[in-house]
Chains A and B, each alone.
Chain A
Amino acid sequence: MWRDAVLVAGKDLRIELRSRVVLNQVAPFAIVVLALFAFALGPNRAPMLQAAAGLFWVAVLFAAVLAVQRSFALEANDGTRDGLRLSGLDPAGIFLGKAAAISVQLIVLEILLAGGVVLFYGAHIRSYGAVLVACAAGTAGLAAVGTLYGALAAGVRVRETLLPFLLLPVVAPVLLAGTRAWQVALGTGPGGDSADPWLRLMLVFAAVYLAVGVLIFGPLQEAA
């Protein structure tokens, strides 16, 4: 399973390095989302700071949808989905490999977006630990659930519009917990609040969807 995961992740990341779709299209899109929100909130820094954590995670979610769509678009061309099924790769390995490749891309996007939050909203990160754990757990959770729903939507003709419809409601806990954890880390949340319960929620979310993905990706791939 792990060998297959490394093989699939390496293939997806090599394709991204060549095509640079995430770097040249998804990343600018996510930055533009942040900038537009900044314009919409006006020149006053207080509401921008208050909204910074939530807007960071909204931009991450939008970018994650695009990254998942791109990941499964690779398998929609020239019969590559059948090629992947015929290869005999362990479905759990395919799931982990695709989730790992999406995670790497999301981490790059989150670094850029964190810079955007500091630049556009004037935010100061007070707890780097909370930010890092929230990003790591949120990324793993988004990649896992995105890979699952990406596979589910892959066999449907209207997959481009179906995927956001399916995915965004399911990842609401990541948006909620990530926002609260970041509010604590940026010092913009309710006084005395702790990031720990929100970080635990994100870790549980990631663990559950990674486990579910390993178990059901095979049947999902066959049914899609």
Chain B
Amino acid sequence: MDTAVSLRAAVALTGRFPVLAGIDLSVAPGEVLVLEGANGAGKTSVLRACAGLLAISSGEAVVLGHDLRRNASAVRRQVGMLGHAAALYDELNVVENVRFAVRAAAGATENIDPALERVGLVGRLRRTAVGRLSAGQRRRVALAVLMARRPALWLLDEPHAALDAGARALLGEVINEAVAAGATVLLASHEPEASLPLAHRVVTLAGGRIVHERSLAHEAPAPMHVVGDVHVA
């Protein structure tokens, strides 16, 4: 597999509005790509499209070898997404939420305890209902789900939001470890100081298109494959 993500002239609509307006993007396996841009530029839409949650109405979209236009749901078990919402059930406790998510994705349940320890959710917190946790703690639970699931493609939407300094450092470590293990990461962020140290490449979006792209390969481990198309709206 030469590319983990390959979008070619990909268009996605919300109603009649093109949230992705013919985007070309190629991401190599093991690469960390940061998506930046103003609100409404299309960062979240790129992540949702790659997860098979946003239908591609024209163009090509292949993620982890799955053609999203043919079968968008086929890729989902290999994808982990940390979005604005943590996708957790308030009534279930921390362990129950992580266990449900891992078992649903056919992941290995023996990864759960190490992941929870790593994000600092130990002792009484493990048995606390998620609805009683702070925003930052909920974010840690969602991160533990990703760590325990070990997806091939990590889609992170503002992952640093609500995290304290310690958790931000931990997130960086976790991303680097995932990449070292072969995962690919797409990270949408408004916080360059937090996201750029992790990135191999940065693309800037506006109006559902890529308007600028720059490689940071000299600052981080070289990606396996980089496509350097630059599009100006």
B89 near A88 with CB under 8 A, answer no
- State which of A11, A88, A89 has its C-beta within 8 Å of the C-beta of B92: A11
Chain B contacts of A85 at CB under 8 A? 53, 73, 76
A15-B89, A18-B92 known; A79 vs B84 contact (CB < 8 Å): yes
B53 near A80 with CB under 8 A, answer no
The reply on A87 being an interface residue by CB < 8 A is yes
Whole-angstrom distance between the alpha carbons of A86 and B54 in the complex?
Answer: 12
Chain A contacts of B90 at CB under 8 A? 77-78
B85 near A79 with CB under 8 A, answer yes
Chain B contacts of A80 at CB under 8 A? 85, 87-89
The reply on A124 being an interface residue by CB < 8 A is no
Q: Interface stretch among B22-30, B101-109, B113-121, B223-231? A: B101-109
Q: What is the number of contacts between chain A and chain B, taking CB atoms within 8 Å?
A: 69
B91 near A86 with CB under 8 A, answer no
Interface size band for A:
20 to 34
* Residue total for B at the interface (Cβ-Cβ under 8 A): 27
A11-B89, A78-B85 known; A83 vs B101 contact (CB < 8 Å): yes
Name the interface residues of A6-44: CB closer than 8 Å to any CB of B: 7, 11, 14-15, 18-19
Nearest chain A CB to B170 CB, angstrom units: 22
- State which of B72, B100, B129 has its C-beta within 8 Å of the C-beta of A7: B100
Which residue of chain A has its CB nearest to the CB of B138?
Answer: A78
B81 near A86 with CB under 8 A, answer yes
Nearest chain A CB to B35 CB, angstrom units: 18
A82 near B87 with CB under 8 A, answer yes
Whole-angstrom distance between the alpha carbons of A18 and B129 in the complex?
Answer: 10
Whole-angstrom distance between the alpha carbons of A14 and B92 in the complex?
Answer: 8
The reply on A74 being an interface residue by CB < 8 A is yes
A18 near B91 with CB under 8 A, answer yes
Nearest chain A CB to B117 CB, angstrom units: 23
Whole-angstrom distance between the alpha carbons of A86 and B74 in the complex?
Answer: 10
Nearest chain B CB to A72 CB, angstrom units: 13
The reply on B77 being an interface residue by CB < 8 A is yes
Chain A contacts of B73 at CB under 8 A? 85, 88, 218, 222
The reply on A4 being an interface residue by CB < 8 A is yes
Residue-by-residue, is A75-117 near B (CB-CB < 8 Å gives 1, otherwise 0)?
A: 0011110111111110000000000000000000000000000
- State which of B80, B89, B129 has its C-beta within 8 Å of the C-beta of A74: B89
The reply on B158 being an interface residue by CB < 8 A is no
A11-B100, A78-B85, A80-B87 known; A87 vs B92 contact (CB < 8 Å): no
B96 near A14 with CB under 8 A, answer yes
Chain B contacts of A14 at CB under 8 A? 91-92, 96
A7 near B103 with CB under 8 A, answer yes
Whole-angstrom distance between the alpha carbons of A80 and B97 in the complex?
Answer: 11
- State which of A18, A19, A88 has its C-beta within 8 Å of the C-beta of B76: A88
9 A-B pairs with least C-beta separation: A79-B85, A83-B87, A88-B77, A87-B104, A18-B91, A79-B87, A15-B91, A88-B76, A78-B85
A-B contact pairs, 6 of them (CB 8 A): A14-B91, A15-B92, A78-B90, A79-B84, A87-B77, A87-B105
Chain B residues close to A by CB (< 8 Å) = 51, 53, 72-73, 76-77, 79-81, 83-92, 96, 100-101, 103-106, 129
